[in-house]
Chains A and B, each alone.
Chain A
Amino acid sequence: MNTEFDPGAAQPPGAAQPPGAAQPLCVSGQALRYGTSAVHEARLELRPSDGRLYLIAQANKEQLFDCEPRQAKLEPALGSTPRRVKLPGGHLFVTQDPNIARLFPESRRARVVPILERFSYLSLVMLVGIILAAWMIWRTAVPMAAHVAAWATPQSWLDRMDQVSLATLRQGWSLDSDLPSAQKQQVQGLLDNLVAALPPKDRIGYDLYFADASMINAFALPGGSLVVTDGLVEEFAADPDAIAGVLAHELGHVVERHGLKNVYSSAGTYLLVLAMFGDVGPIFEDVLVNTTVLLDLAYSREYEQAADDFGLALASKAGFEPSGLIDFFERLNSEAGQRGVAPPEWLSTHPSFKRRLERLREQLR
């Protein structure tokens, strides 16, 4: 215990040192003993005489504690909260005095992070950086990762996914429609011709299902199950090129694994948004989730375009009239025009018929 210590003097106790010699670095604050809530006004001193840290009570100048500086840990600054020094043995020293940093050599990370966290022009630079980086990740890193993940997914998983989806579909629809079997066989024949034109590695087993529904629609499941509605088959009974064009488009989804990529890239977008905003509370979370859904639609529209390109090439390679897909969209486009307004494109999983038609015509030219 050092009873001679005088807090008013800048001189270390009892030492007759020449003026200008090293003086103790001294910071006042509060000390809390290990595991206790009582607060003691105290000061922390680094004495140059022995290079040790001393904790001294302000009230009675009692020396509470001493240790080597490297045994104590100064926590990185955090906004304007008091700086915290964790002393060995679980004691705590808290101070508002910024000079505390002069007692401890801080690590680079402990120095850099508070600089980034202070509001300055750097904050604005980082804000712009966040927007740019998020855009780049969303445009390139997420699709690339989805691409790699989609190719790494084994076919057996896809087959199982198909089984589950088909079981769900069967709850709403019959997948063995009453269509005449001659008509079914004709469509199956179109599919066989298209599959024969695929490169051998892409000729996985494709299963064709006819859904008992009057709407005009067709879709593909990731494992190679294709579903066409009776409405589509009947509407285009006289135009096999159109049906072949649609089937070729759906084959494009399967071969290029669009369904799977969609799942992976949705997960990626969700993670990106989550990383940026974190835990936002119950109501705004809904807003956020809906935003990511809108973002995912952009990927979906790109896949549709890619499948159109693929379908056009495949249909012509298999010997069909490549304009079949164009006929198909023209018919749908005029019907949609009669029915009224379509939702705006950014709210839609598919690009507008008009845009798809333009693109297909351009490719045929």
Chain B
Amino acid sequence: MKRAPIYPVEFRGKAGEWFAIWIANVFLTVVTLGIYSAWAKVRFKKYFYQNTYVGGRNFDYHGRPKNILIGRIIVAVVIALSYVPGIQVVVVPVLILLMPAALVLSARFNARNSSWANVRFDFMGKIPRAYVIYLIYPALAYVALIVFVTATFFVVTKGSSLEPSQLAGLSDTGKLLALLDVWPRLLLAFVISLIVALFFVTLLFRLVQLYAVNGHRLAGLPFSIDARLSEYLGVMYLAVLLGAVGGAALGLVVFALSAVFVYWTAAALPALVVFSYGSLILGYIAFRVGVRNLLFRNLELGRGTKCHRFRSTAQVLEVVGIIVTNAIAVSLSFGLMLPWAKIRYYRYMAENTFVLVEGNLDDFAGDAQDYQNSVGEAYGDFEGLDLGIGL
């Protein structure tokens, strides 16, 4: 059987060039007291989209600055209203109720205003389904989780000195001692609760991702993934483990270094800070990279057996290296290296993405409808449902 030709995703943006555009964007934004920011956003998106190529054809962004500006004004007014005492009680619940619909409009706006080779993307996700995915399932999971955690702690501490009947007569110190007495049981309960909580989070995450991806179209051809839950769970638990172990290792190194070079009583605090930040960053990046690779591995574009497929070859440690050195460079340069950092990250992600083309890249054909909607754009600014390129 003939192997499908592999097209790498190519990024041709240059740091120096983007730096000059960015300076102009910031300058015009500041001197127009923020109004130009809507135009700046379009310049940013166009620059990154138009420099991204698959098979010699680039992407483009078609959002109109005026709609983005109106969207931002709507957001500003709504945010301001949600802080007004009195109105607050009404505005905040209404916003939460409108959120799923707004997310769908936002995904539609972003998709329809993204194109590759003069072919538009589209988002066809249904609004009622969004309510189930974004409101009802999370609410159910939340209740289930609370019930489970309460039950776990109840079962684990049953028969121990932590039972209410035993605690009743004790002083505060006595209660503390009772707590210390059963710490292995509490640790067990905590670990079980954590595993179950992560299970629920992963379950919801997968549903959201399937909904978002399966709603997208390119030239009428559907994107689809049907990745199994076990794959997502594997990514999630590995990421948490990597975060915990890696963070602890970093913390230990810092502890040892400050114990040797400073003084051992002063070593605990920096070690703790490094542990908590380190494990958070490591775990977060490991999860994002793992999910990205899993998403592209399972993603198909097309119908039936003639589907285009994708691959992502991003590596967790490489991404960690890029993000950490980027943050250092940007901080030390007071933000001046930000364009360079962005180009560097984006280029890495593009170069680690491949399209396995089944048939011919010339064969895409569909309606290129124009879609301008300020409400959709308003949410688009906040939510990362932008799957146009999926970098």
A residues adjacent to B (C-beta < 8 A)? 32-39, 78-82, 84, 90-92, 113, 116-120, 123, 126-127, 129-130, 133-134, 137, 141, 156-157, 160-161, 164, 271-272, 275-278, 280-284, 287
Contacts and interface: CB of A to CB of B under 8 A. Distances in A.
Nearest to A124: B23
B352 to A, nearest CB: 17
23 contacts: A32-B118, A35-B119, A37-B57, A37-B219, A37-B364, A39-B57, A39-B117, A39-B362, A78-B50, A79-B13, A81-B47, A116-B28, A117-B21, A118-B20, A119-B17, A130-B27, A133-B27, A133-B31, A137-B33, A275-B26, A283-B323, A287-B327, A287-B331
Given A37-B116, A278-B44, A119 B19 contact: yes
Contact of B23 (A78, A82, A127, A271): A127
A119 to B, nearest CB: 4
B118 A271 contact: no
Contact of B118 (A35, A80, A160): A35
B43 A37 contact: no
B30 A276 contact: yes
Contact of A284 (B21, B37, B330): B330
Nearest to B324: A283
A37 B31 contact: no
Nearest to B76: A271
Interface string B5-38: 0000000111011111101101111110110010
B118 A119 contact: no
Nearest to A119: B20
Interface stretch (B195-203, B223-231, B237-245, B365-373): B365-373
Interface in B299-355: 323-324, 326-327, 330-331, 335, 338, 341-342, 345
A274 to B, nearest CB: 9
- Of the candidates B20, B118, B345, the one having the most CB atoms from chain A within 10 angstroms of its own CB is B118
Contacts of B377: none
Contacts of A156: 85-86
B31 to A, nearest CB: 6
B46 interface: yes
Given A161-B85, A283-B327, A35 B23 contact: no
Interface of B: 12-14, 16-21, 23-24, 26-31, 33-34, 37, 40-41, 43-44, 46-47, 50-51, 56-58, 60, 84-86, 116-120, 219, 281, 284, 323-324, 326-327, 330-331, 335, 338, 341-342, 345, 361-368
B363 A37 contact: yes
Given A81-B58, A130-B30, A281-B323, A35 B365 contact: yes
Contact of A79 (B47, B58, B338): B47
Given A275-B34, A276-B29, A281 B86 contact: no
Contacts of A271: 34
A34 B368 contact: yes
A34 B323 CA distance: 40
A160 B86 contact: yes
B63 to A, nearest CB: 13
